[in-house]
Structure 1
Amino acid sequence: MQKVKNRAIGAVSMLALVATTAIATNVRAEDKLTIASWGGAYQDSQAKAYFDPFSQETGTKIVTDEWSGETAKLKGMVETGNVSWDVVDVEPGHALQGCDEGWLEPIDYESLGGKDKFLPGAALECAIGNVAFAYILAYDNAKFPNGGPTKVADIWDVKKFPGPRSLRKSPKSTLELALLADGVAPDDIYKVLETSEGVDRAFKKLDEIKPHVKVWWGAGAQPPQLLADGEVAVTTAYNGRIYDAVKNSGKDFKIVWDGAALDWDMWAIPKGSPRVELAKKFVAFASRPENLAQQTKYIPYGPSNIEAAGFVDASVLPNLPTSPENSKTSFSISAQFWADHDEELTERFNTWLAQ
């Protein structure tokens, strides 16, 4: 009788263990967060500064994806109810449009200490800035033994600075670049682009360089690779990607800060994410000043939290796009302009590319 009783107790214990294991497995399955960002050295820096530490602190499994910034993809997920991303690294134009059209969650700034903790332009209603970066010009120093380009207009001077070019496959930053090369002052760029004549002027300037553009890049990892492979001599790029190639891969690349276009990368949460509360916890974690400063160890982008500067190594500060020396002739990308005109100008740009 005792043996039967023991076997019964053992069977119950085994069933309890199986049930507990199943519940634990389900809990672990739910503690997964999918984050979409821009790939390459930038996403690697995020993994070291945010993804891995958040996983260690919370036990959450981070799954990553990449996107190219096409609004239709993110917007389409929400509209079809098929949201596979819990957190997305977006640009300010995405944030304004997504908030206005209702496909991004609002940010709870009260839980983050208030908007005044962040630099101007970094605290939007439906997205919070993590870093400021710059679209810059870069070139392979070996291609120009007598000295390389020093200003935006030089990318159009194929006689003095010969070699194939690469430009971003997007109207954003590319139209601004064309107007700068055509003599428009940085402060006047969006006054000009707000007119149909100004848009025509930008495309006319792009017509001049188009035959010399070998590659229109979409992913941020492409420009340094194109330079490294010798496919192009001059390219537009994200400043951090070029810095990474120089520092960590020993490349002889140079950055041209003239006409640098400053912009924010921002965390946003798509409406309809099944893990919205966990997503909010991640955004709060990634917005801590000490964590934002950690990212500058791996890529030189300016952190959004004002208090983060106190955690940044002094040797890194001169490489940030927000430093006084690097931002002398820079301008800030207009989030409002691109929120208003992104789709129409992208359609025109893609049509122009196909011609």
Structure 2
Amino acid sequence: MKKLLILSTALSTFAFAASAQEVVLMSWGGAYGKSQTEAYLKPFTAETGIKTTMVDADNPATPVKAMVEANNVTVDVVDIEYADAIRLCDEGLLEPLDPAILPPGDDGTPAMDDFLPGAVTDCSVATIVFSTMYAYDTTKFPNGGPKTMADFFNTEAFPGKRGMRKGAKANLEMALMADGVPAAEVYEVLATPEGVDRAFAMMDKIKADTVWWEAGAQPPQLLADGEVVMSTAYNGRIFAAAVSEGKPFESVWDGQVYEYDVLAIPKGAKNLEAATQFLAYATGTQRLADQAKYISYGPARKSSGPLVGLYEDGKTEMGPYMPTAAANLTNALASDFEFWADRDTQLNERFNSWLLN
């Protein structure tokens, strides 16, 4: 990849024909999509004149893989989960990333020293740290709600429907932690047939009471509509519903599974130069700090941390709502991208078969 972009401040100096350039970003929609629009897309267009467009998907990794394999790529940049980026890169479906395009931190720290460990890969660069945790409707539990991951799986003490993402990832880890497996031992246990059986045995306990969701915007809606009393969710979606919309939702951080979300360029992107320019711009210090103004995901750059302040309401401190806040990491699990890059297909086949049975 051409070493085009070193400093985000130099973006407007490149000889792009702005009227002919466009960057199409495929992302997850909802409050998360809004945070990217405000922090990345709008200022990028304002500074460069290059048009930006956002398109949504339940999980962008799936349509992007299909596009590249069909040689019909209609997006230029994609926001995907870390394990998916590793897998798609290994399959040759993403453009290689030259770290030299990444701007240093605003404090002068070289990019590769400024990003959190592992945040920059052969084909992608992380923007946020997000978490899959669970939340409940406080009006359904006037005498006190659930506090632990074990409580989520306890329908006797806390009756009512649950919401869970339709897939194996994070669910199996949560099931094991609910069954008493320490976070540090989860992947060791889950790597064995007996561990997988143990996780599904825990899932059996709530299967009949579970509503399955596929898009990140669904859990807050399921809670708001009263279809479930608690649901796993992406932490930023619950934050947006509770703080922006005043919903009576309480987050439970015990047993959270946190990981990176990344930006990557699909192989065969039609606007490669503009996409490269956008990726470098969007992962700069200020851009990542600005995103945290709109949603409670932690920035993947160290230099962005001190710049994170108040929510867009001008009064809510964002720090305590971040997955990486010290109080929220008491019993937390870092998602193992290597584990899921190797076992995603196998465990999701098991999960889908379990659902049908």
With the length of structure 2 as denominator, give the TM-score of the two structures: 0.89
3-state SS, counterpart of residue 337 of structure 1:
helix
Aligned match for 1:130, one of 127, 136, 160: 127
Deviations 1:10-62 (A, max 9, x none): xxxxxxxxxxxxxxxxx566312111111111111111111111111112222
Aligned to 2:330: 328
Q: Which has the higher helix share?
A: 1
Residues 60 and 78 in structure 2, CA contact (< 8 A), matched pair in contact too: no
1:206 aligns with 2:203: yes
Question: What is the CA-CA distance between 1:99 and the residue it aligns to?
Answer: 1.6
Q: Distance in 2 between matches of 1:197 and 1:70?
A: 32
Q: Distance in 2 between matches of 1:70 and 1:281?
A: 21
3-state SS, counterpart of residue 256 of structure 1:
strand
Aligned to 1:54: 44
1:93 aligns with 2:83: yes
With the length of structure 1 as denominator, give the TM-score of the two structures: 0.89
Residue type matched to 2:164 in 1?
L
Aligned to 1:248: 244
Task: Quickly say closer, same or farther: Cα 1:179–1:234, change in 2 above 3 A.
Answer: same
Gaps of 5+ in 1: 1-26
Deviations 1:260-314 (A, max 9, x none): 1111110011111011111111111111111111111110110011100121117
Aligned to 2:67: 77
Aligned to 1:276: 272
Task: Provide the aligned length of Structure 1 versus Structure 2.
Answer: 329
1:33 aligns with 2:23: yes
Aligned match for 2:147, one of 128, 147, 150: 150
Residue type matched to 2:324 in 1?
T
Matches within 5 A, 1:196-235: 196-213=193-210, 215-235=211-231
Residue type matched to 1:352 in 2?
W
Aligned match for 1:120, one of 98, 102, 117: 117
Q: Distance in 2 between matches of 1:71 and 1:61?
A: 23
Larger Rg: 1 or 2? 1
Aligned match for 1:349, one of 334, 344, 351: 351
Q: Distance in 1 between matches of 2:347 and 2:124?
A: 23
Moved over 4 A (4+): none
3-state SS, counterpart of residue 148 of structure 1:
coil
Aligned match for 1:300, one of 296, 299, 323: 296
Aligned to 2:314: none
Residue type matched to 2:349 in 1?
E
Q: Distance in 2 between matches of 1:346 and 1:66?
A: 23
Quote the sequence identity (%): 47
Q: Distance in 1 between matches of 2:154 and 2:40?
A: 42
Gaps of 5+ in 2: 1-16, 105-110, 311-316
CA RMSD of aligned residues (A): 1.5
Q: Distance in 2 between matches of 1:111 and 1:88?
A: 17
3-state SS, counterpart of residue 174 of structure 2:
helix
Question: What is the CA-CA distance between 1:121 and the residue it aligns to?
Answer: 2.6
Task: Quickly say closer, same or farther: Cα 1:75–1:159, change in 2 above 3 A.
Answer: same
